[in-house]
């Protein structure tokens, strides 16, 4: 007969039962079990388990706490001891407090930022069903991925894909000029950001309507839906304005069909009003064309739709219409697009999330450095507290109690630091918000308090763990005898900790320096033309109709060097085509050319150099049938002797000139093919070159002239070089932030070093005194004391240099044009670190070296 | 005598006494079930045994390992002189009082 009683019940019994009773009880239970088993195995098991449960009563439960003690009293005692030791070793206390609280403040700030980043665009009610149409463009060598698609996509998707509940095409508010529309009510003009959206826009996104219903607001082409804030600006109220008239750009009247709550700040799309996309199709025919990329399309899927299955079907939507197309669309969660936006060859590689990760890691390291301070200082003080530990152990305290005591001490420390950190955060939050360009606030909600509590506990435990286990492990006999044998081992670990701190500090410092150099390099890089002193503004109102007169007048103003109009902002990607035909073009060539439709003199205004041939000129006729390429285009087209050749792009065009390559995108990218065509009247920007030194005069003159010529519109200009820098906003931000964080890291490391130096100097006072009596000089003693620390910092530098070289190289690979890493970057940072370390230690050692030996030795 | 026994305690003590030195948990349980027709859990028997042992009415010793108990030894209980005295005392007392019941016929 093979009968096994239930294992779990038996385990449970063994866990709780007194050992002296266990054998008897177990034996009896098994005997009974085997008895019953013959009748019914199931019942036997059940009975066995039930009996075990019945044994769970005080008579049989073993004593778990063998030392019954008064926990509350012990706790109070521990706190008292902690306070006393804080008071007694004030130096170490303040070093820990400053270090930990500044580290925790960094962590909190980064937590606030990360939390904010993670919540961007997540507020939409249908978030989990809200998608954006993206497209992979399959070129010969690479796949490009874009958020841009074609206007008709919205309708096509509604027709062909039954899983879609809503779809809307959008001309988004970041398009050129959309941020500066003029809306007027009576005499009042307000500048506002707008977008053109499909009629189901408010069914897709949760921008709550105060007036109007989501189905109705955009049914008419003359409808305008405005934000609460804009309504107050225009009408001073949000009530009773439905159906009222707003004049758009001083031209066309629109009727208010709805009012929505102002867009939350954690939305990645910011706008003040929307109008109908149907209307925009009438103005710009190209947005209703499958051949051009531009509009965004958003969809809401019906509940329960599987996106990957949907995408399989969806990928062929364009190819079914145009078999030769290289475009395959796919859906992507709208709220994911903010953090995960970077694609490389059709594969998602990251985006802003990289910065989120980067700073989380930096925060972690800073906290670690501060914890390390705590550890190394506590173990260094072990000798001071070893007597206390010895006595406690002799009196009968267990190791567990001692561990608890030191852990509670470090948690208490972390708690104080957290309070300080909150004060620091409250103090520095405005500055931090400005750097990260967010409106962060300290709202004491559950999530924040809970996170703060978790971080505090974690910090306390992390910082206290090593000292707690180390100190509690000391042997009472040797500590009371005054011998501290464990010291050599702890010394090694302490050295390791310092090396670790400085390694991280050095890496951070090198990174900051490299980022700074690269950004300076990028900003000072000759981009191919002189971008200084060029302003640009939108073509609006009267200017649109009388461009020529306007430009002629502007050129005459004092301080203006030249002026022209362009359809391309000369910054970033605006409009590109792949349909240009030339002699010898491979049939499947899909080279994209960025196209700038410009007026006469644009090339001259910007100062772009002509390499061959000539620029557009009024002295020649039929200039609109001419074209100018950059060097990169000629290379891509593989043309020999290009001047005079004919290409086909919106009709036959003759190549009349070649300009030198200039950067119109950020230096992350290589210069791409670019061409100029002459198309007066189609410009949307005016560029004006101003004489250096006469900026104020020229700008005042321009403003007066603009306002008289274009009444009702604001003269809202930007400097080209400033806009160009916006390319590097992310890098700038990283540079600024990492500068501060590196500063804090080195500060905290030095605090730790300072603490250790003070401590060592104190410990060796007698040695120093005797050395002095025997004739050692001050410099000799300083050297003796700093030797150890120098060694540690040198080791840290040796470890950090290759690591930081690797990190810097990886980061620089993001740029097509980048600085070379010079050896002196590393030497510079290394010497700086060493210098800072010496200064920190030197002060203490000098003090120690100056003591009078008699003072110190007279007690013996 | 200041000690007194509950009904169940008394029963267990009697059984231990009756089995001489062969009484152990399971045997006591079975005897209870057969003779007294009482349904009890083994844990209840152990509780009483421990109590009796603590009071000094029984003492125990381990037997040799038995195969039907998964190799565990039995623990045998024996009534002590003190326990026997208690029983004697208790029965003498009861007997004495019982005898005083008049011989009345309840016809």
Residue A31 forms contact with B (CB below 8 Å): yes
Domain residue limits, chain B:
7-99
3-state secondary structure B46-80: HHHHHHHHHHCCEEEEEEEECHHHCCCEEEEEEEC
Q: Please count the CA atoms within 13 angstroms of the CA of A595 that sit on its side-chain side.
A: 17
Is A576 in contact with A593 (CB distance < 8 Å)? yes
> To the nearest 5 percent, what fractions of chain B are helix, strand and coil?
55, 15, 30
A61: three-class secondary structure by DSSP: strand
Specify burial of residue B46 (Cβ count, 10 A radius: 0-12, 13-18, 19+): buried
Residue B41 forms contact with A (CB below 8 Å): yes
Is A582 in contact with A637 (CB distance < 8 Å)? yes
Q: Any residues with CB less than 8 A from the CB of A819 and at least 6 apart, and which? A: A514, A517, A518, A521, A812
| Digit-coded pLDDT (tens) for A517-543 | 887 887 777 777 887 888 888 887 778
| Digit-coded pLDDT (tens) for A640-653 | 888 888 888 888 88
Return the pLDDT at A418.
Answer: 92
Mean pLDDT across the stretch A140-152? 82
Is A540 in contact with A249 (CB distance < 8 Å)? yes
Return the pLDDT at A105.
Answer: 92
> Could B42 and A29 be called an inter-chain contact, meaning their C-beta atoms sit closer than 8 Å?
yes
Closest CA to A63 of A9, A19, A27: A19
Mean pLDDT across the stretch A685-709? 86
CA distance A556 to A553: 5
Query: Using CB atoms, which residue from A21, A30, A51 is nearest to B69?
Result: A30
Mean pLDDT across the stretch A204-228? 86
CA distance A379 to A190: 66
> Could A51 and B69 be called an inter-chain contact, meaning their C-beta atoms sit closer than 8 Å?
no
CA distance A326 to A138: 5
Count of C-beta atoms within a 10 Å radius of residue A29: 27
- Return the residue in B31, B40, B42, B49 with the most chain A beta carbons within 10 A, the one to mutate for interface testing: B42
| Digit-coded pLDDT (tens) for B9-68 | 888 999 999 988 888 988 999 888 888 777 888 888 999 999 899 888 999 988 888 777
Return the pLDDT at A484.
Answer: 57
A 74-93: CB under 8 A from B: none
> Could B72 and A54 be called an inter-chain contact, meaning their C-beta atoms sit closer than 8 Å?
no
Comparison of pLDDT for A257 and A586, the residue scoring more: A257
CA distance A341 to A532: 32
> Could B47 and A59 be called an inter-chain contact, meaning their C-beta atoms sit closer than 8 Å?
yes
A62: three-class secondary structure by DSSP: coil
pTM, entire model: 0.69
Q: Name the CATH code of domain B7-99 (choices 1.10.260.40, 3.40.50.2020, 1.10.357.10, 1.10.10.10).
A: 1.10.10.10
Count of C-beta atoms within a 10 Å radius of residue A588: 9
Quick one: CA dihedral A419, A421, A424, A428, positive or negative? negative
Mean pLDDT across the stretch A657-681? 84
Return the pLDDT at A302.
Answer: 87
| Digit-coded pLDDT (tens) for A405-441 | 888 888 988 999 999 999 999 999 998 888 887 888 8
Return the pLDDT at A353.
Answer: 87
* Residues of chain A neighbouring B73 (CB-CB closer than 8 A): 23-24, 27
Return the pLDDT at A486.
Answer: 47
Is A696 in contact with A512 (CB distance < 8 Å)? no
CA distance A843 to A786: 10
Is B2 in contact with B90 (CB distance < 8 Å)? no
Is A695 in contact with A719 (CB distance < 8 Å)? no
Mean pLDDT across the stretch A778-786? 83
3-state secondary structure A511-553: HHHHHHHHHHHHHHCCCCCCCCCEEEEECCHHHHHCHHHHHHH
Cα dist from A709 to A549, A551, A697, A705, A801, whole Å: 10, 11, 18, 6, 61
Cα dist from A745 to A357, A367, A585, A741, A830, whole Å: 18, 9, 57, 6, 15
Give B105 to chain A, closest Cα distance, Å: 47
Count of A-B CB contacts under 8 Å: 64
Give B82 to chain A, closest Cα distance, Å: 23
* For residue A719, pLDDT beyond 50: yes
Is A612 in contact with A657 (CB distance < 8 Å)? yes
- Return the residue in A9, A13, A20, A28 with the most chain B beta carbons within 10 A, the one to mutate for interface testing: A28
Comparison of pLDDT for A329 and A471, the residue scoring more: A329
Return the pLDDT at A7.
Answer: 87
CA distance A432 to A736: 10
Mean pLDDT across the stretch A215-234? 87
Is A689 in contact with A698 (CB distance < 8 Å)? no
ipTM over 0.90: no
Is A191 in contact with A174 (CB distance < 8 Å)? no
3-state secondary structure A350-411: ECCHHHHHHHHHHHHHHHHHHHHHHHHHHHHCHHHHHHHHHHHHHHCCCHHHHHHHHHHHHH
* For residue A2, pLDDT beyond 60: no
Q: How confident is the model at residue A298 (pLDDT cuts 50, 70, 90)?
A: very high
CA distance A224 to A175: 18
Give A29 to chain B, closest Cα distance, Å: 8
Q: Please count the CA atoms within 13 angstroms of the CA of A604 that sit on its side-chain side.
A: 12
> To the nearest 5 percent, what fractions of chain A are helix, strand and coil?
55, 15, 30
> Could B46 and A32 be called an inter-chain contact, meaning their C-beta atoms sit closer than 8 Å?
no
Give A57 to chain B, closest Cα distance, Å: 9
Residue A16 forms contact with B (CB below 8 Å): no
| Digit-coded pLDDT (tens) for A375-416 | 888 777 776 777 788 888 888 888 888 888 888 888 988 999
Greatest mean pLDDT among A53-67, A463-477, B37-51 lies in B37-51
Point out the least confidently predicted range of A165-169, A216-220, A298-302, A806-810: A216-220
For A787, the token pair is 């030797």
Closest CA to A388 of A476, A320, A325: A476
Q: Any residues with CB less than 8 A from the CB of A624 and at least 6 apart, and which? A: A677, A678, A679
């Amino acid at each position: 007969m093979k009968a096994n009683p239930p294992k779990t019940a038996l385990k449970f019994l063994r866990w709780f039962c007194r050992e002296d009773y266990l054998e008897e009880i177990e034996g009896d239970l098994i005997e009974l079990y085997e008895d019953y088993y013959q009748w019914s195995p199931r019942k036997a098991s059940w009975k066995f388990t039930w009996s075990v449960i019945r044994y769970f009563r005080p008579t049989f439960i073993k004593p778990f706490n063998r030392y019954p003690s008064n926990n509350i009293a012990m706790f109070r005692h521990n706190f008292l001891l902690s306070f006393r030791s804080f008071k007694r070793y004030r130096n170490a206390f303040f070093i820990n407090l400053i270090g930990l609280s500044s580290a925790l403040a960094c962590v909190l700030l980064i937590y606030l930022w990360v939390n904010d980043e993670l919540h961007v665009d997540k507020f939409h009610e249908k978030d989990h069903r809200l998608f954006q149409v993206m497209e992979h463009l399959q070129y010969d060598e690479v796949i490009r991925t874009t958020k841009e698609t074609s206007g008709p996509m919205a309708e096509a998707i509604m027709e062909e894909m039954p899983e879609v509940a809503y779809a809307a095409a959008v001309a988004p508010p970041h398009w050129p000029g959309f941020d500066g529309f003029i809306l007027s009510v009576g005499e009042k003009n307000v500048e506002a950001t707008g977008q053109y959206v499909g009629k189901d826009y408010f069914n897709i996104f949760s921008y709550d309507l105060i007036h109007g219903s989501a189905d109705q607001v955009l049914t008419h082409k003359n409808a305008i839906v405005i934000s609460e804030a804009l309504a107050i600006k225009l009408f001073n109220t949000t009530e009773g304005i439905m159906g009222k008239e707003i004049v758009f750009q001083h031209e066309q009247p629109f009727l208010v069909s709805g009012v929505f709550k102002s867009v939350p700040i954690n939305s990645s799309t910011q706008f003040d009003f929307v109008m109908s996309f149907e209307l925009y199709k009438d103005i710009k025919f190209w947005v209703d064309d499958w051949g051009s990329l531009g509009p965004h399309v958003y969809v809401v899927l019906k509940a329960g739709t599987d996106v990957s299955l949907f995408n399989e079907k969806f990928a062929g939507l364009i190819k079914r219409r145009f078999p030769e197309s290289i475009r395959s669309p796919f859906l992507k969660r709208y709220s994911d697009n903010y953090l995960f936006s970077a694609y490389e060859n059709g594969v998602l590689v990251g985006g802003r999330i990289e910065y989120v990760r980067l700073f989380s890691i930096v925060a972690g390291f800073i906290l670690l450095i501060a914890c390390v301070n705590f550890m190394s200082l506590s173990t260094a003080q072990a000798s001071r507290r070893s007597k206390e530990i010895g006595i406690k152990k002799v009196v009968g305290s267990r190791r567990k109690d001692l561990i608890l005591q030191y852990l509670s001490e470090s948690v208490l420390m972390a708690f104080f630091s957290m309070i300080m950190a909150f004060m620091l955060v409250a103090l520095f939050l405005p500055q931090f918000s400005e750097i990260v360009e967010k409106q962060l606030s300290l709202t004491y909600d559950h999530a924040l308090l809970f996170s703060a509590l978790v971080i505090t506990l974690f910090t306390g435990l992390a910082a206290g763990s090593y000292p707690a286990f180390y100190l509690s492990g000391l042997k009472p006999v040797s500590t009371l005898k005054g011998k501290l044998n464990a010291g050599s081992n702890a010394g090694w670990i302490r050295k390791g900790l310092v090396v670790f701190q400085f390694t991280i500090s050095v890496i951070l410092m090198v990174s900051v320096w490299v980022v700074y150099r690269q950004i300076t390099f990028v900003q000072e890089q000759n981009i191919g033309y002189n971008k200084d002193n060029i302003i640009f503004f939108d073509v609006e109102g009267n200017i649109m109709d009388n461009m020529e007169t306007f430009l002629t007048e502007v050129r005459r103003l004092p301080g203006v060097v030249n002026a022209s109009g362009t359809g391309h902002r000369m910054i970033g990607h605006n409009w590109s085509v792949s349909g240009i035909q030339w002699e010898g073009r491979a049939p499947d060539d899909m080279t994209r050319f960025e196209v700038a439709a410009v007026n006469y003199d644009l090339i001259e205004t910007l100062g772009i150099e002509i390499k061959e041939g000539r620029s557009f000129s009024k002295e020649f006729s039929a200039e609109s049938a001419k074209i100018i390429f950059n060097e990169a285009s000629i290379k891509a087209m593989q043309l020999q002797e290009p001047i005079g050749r004919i290409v086909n792009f919106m009709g036959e065009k003759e190549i009349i000139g070649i300009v030198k390559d200039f950067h119109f995108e950020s230096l992350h990218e290589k210069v791409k093919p670019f061409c100029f065509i002459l198309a007066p009247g189609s410009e949307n920007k005016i560029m004006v070159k101003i004489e250096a030194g006469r900026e104020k005069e020229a700008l005042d003159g321009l403003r007066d002239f603009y306002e008289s010529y274009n009444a009702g519109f604001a003269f809202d200009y930007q400097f080209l070089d400033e806009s160009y820098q916006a390319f590097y906003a992310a890098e700038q931000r990283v540079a600024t932030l990492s500068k501060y964080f590196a500063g804090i890291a080195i500060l905290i490391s030095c605090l730790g070093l300072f603490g250790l130096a003070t401590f060592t100097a104190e410990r060796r006072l007698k040695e120093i005194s005797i050395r002095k009596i025997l004739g050692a000089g001050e410099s000799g003693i300083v050297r003796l004391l700093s030797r150890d620390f120098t060694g540690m910092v040198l080791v840290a530098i040796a470890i950090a240099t290759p690591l930081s070289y690797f990190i810097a190289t990886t980061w620089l690979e993001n740029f097509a044009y980048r600085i070379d890493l010079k050896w002196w970057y590393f030497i510079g940072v290394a010497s700086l670190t060493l210098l800072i370390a010496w200064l920190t230690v030197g002060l203490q050692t000098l003090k120690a070296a100056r003591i009078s030996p008699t003072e110190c030795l007279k007690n013996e | 005598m200041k000690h007194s026994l509950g009904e169940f305690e008394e029963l267990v003590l009697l059984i231990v006494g009756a089995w001489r030195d062969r009484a152990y948990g399971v045997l006591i349980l079975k005897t209870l079930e057969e003779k007294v027709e009482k349904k009890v859990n083994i844990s209840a028997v152990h509780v009483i045994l421990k109590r009796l042992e603590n009071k000094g009415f029984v003492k125990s010793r381990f037997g040799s390992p038995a195969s039907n108990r998964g190799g565990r030894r039995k623990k045998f209980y024996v009534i002590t002189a003190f326990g026997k005295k208690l029983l004697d005392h208790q029965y003498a007392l009861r007997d004495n009082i019982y005898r005083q019941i008049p011989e009345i016929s309840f016809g």
